[in-house]
Amino acid sequence: MSRQHAVILSVTLLMLTAVTGCRTSEPLERMAIAPWPCVMEVAYTPEAIRVDGIMDEASWQNAQPVFFMDDIDPPNRNTARVWVLWDKQYLYFAFSVKDSSLRATHTEHDTAFSGDDGVEILIDTRLDRSDKWLQDDYCWHVNLNDAILDSRGTSDGKIDNSWNGNALSKTVIAGTLNDDRPDEGYITEMAVPWTDLGVSGLDKGIEIGLDLCVNDFDENSDTCQYFDWCKSKALYQPSGFGLARLVRQMEIPARKPSSERLLW
């Protein structure tokens, strides 16, 4: 490597560190070519959040969502806005999904939700950005009936569906399930206990790897229209996750509480 190239690489690494505050076990050379695909700041909520699918707390109104969509041409394009908050007990999520055909039939815990619409949360607690699904990695699938399939990784990179967490969820739909009448979409609220993640000593500045996903099955279709925040092609590879950093307060103007619920 020439001296000029070495200087350019060093400057690039310094810029990445300043922007993302990355904590990683990866080689610096890899970080130079694989920056975070997406970054969010997660605001602290001083008020209790009711997991009811309504989102009427002021903390939700003052938070800033991320936005992503599928690659289907309009007018059938599905979109998602997701808000994330934290307090000392929980990491909170609220998905507002636009979907004109709502489907879900499964109601039992830890069921494979093939054919069901729903959301997924994937977390890399150690922020190691591994290509394997390890013991510090967790996933929650939630369908529109609030059935949850939760899992974590193993030391040899497998998916352990026998693991059960204590996440809470509530979904409110705008439409009707499993028919041909046009629907509007749904809101799913979730609360994931920090104890499920083995995280303690919470304070601002803590960082985790995160991806947020939507699964969509339309009428008479066995194909899942999967789309996610980080545009990752491999679900269980934290190397493709984004960065979520806990902060005390977002640097955005406060908004008044609104009676609007489906916020797409």
How much is the pTM? 0.82
Both tokens of 174, joined, read 């705008």
Taking 70 as the pLDDT cut, the residues of the chain under it are: 1-34, 73, 75, 219-223, 249-264
DSSP 233: S
Cis bond upstream, residue 257 (ω within 30): no
If we measure between CA atoms, which residue out of 208, 207, 214 comes closest to residue 231? Answer: 214
**Cα(113)–Cα(252) distance, integer angstroms:** 38
From the list 56, 144, 52, 58, the residue with the least C-alpha distance to 97 is 144
Provide the residue ranges of all domains of the chain, joining segments of one domain with +. 1-35, 37-247
Cα 204 from Cα 242, distance rounded (Å): 18
Q: CA triplet 70, 72, 76: central angle to 5 degrees?
A: 100
pLDDT in tens, 112-155: 888 899 999 999 999 999 999 999 999 999 999 999 999 999 99
CATH for the stretch 37-247? 2.60.40.1190
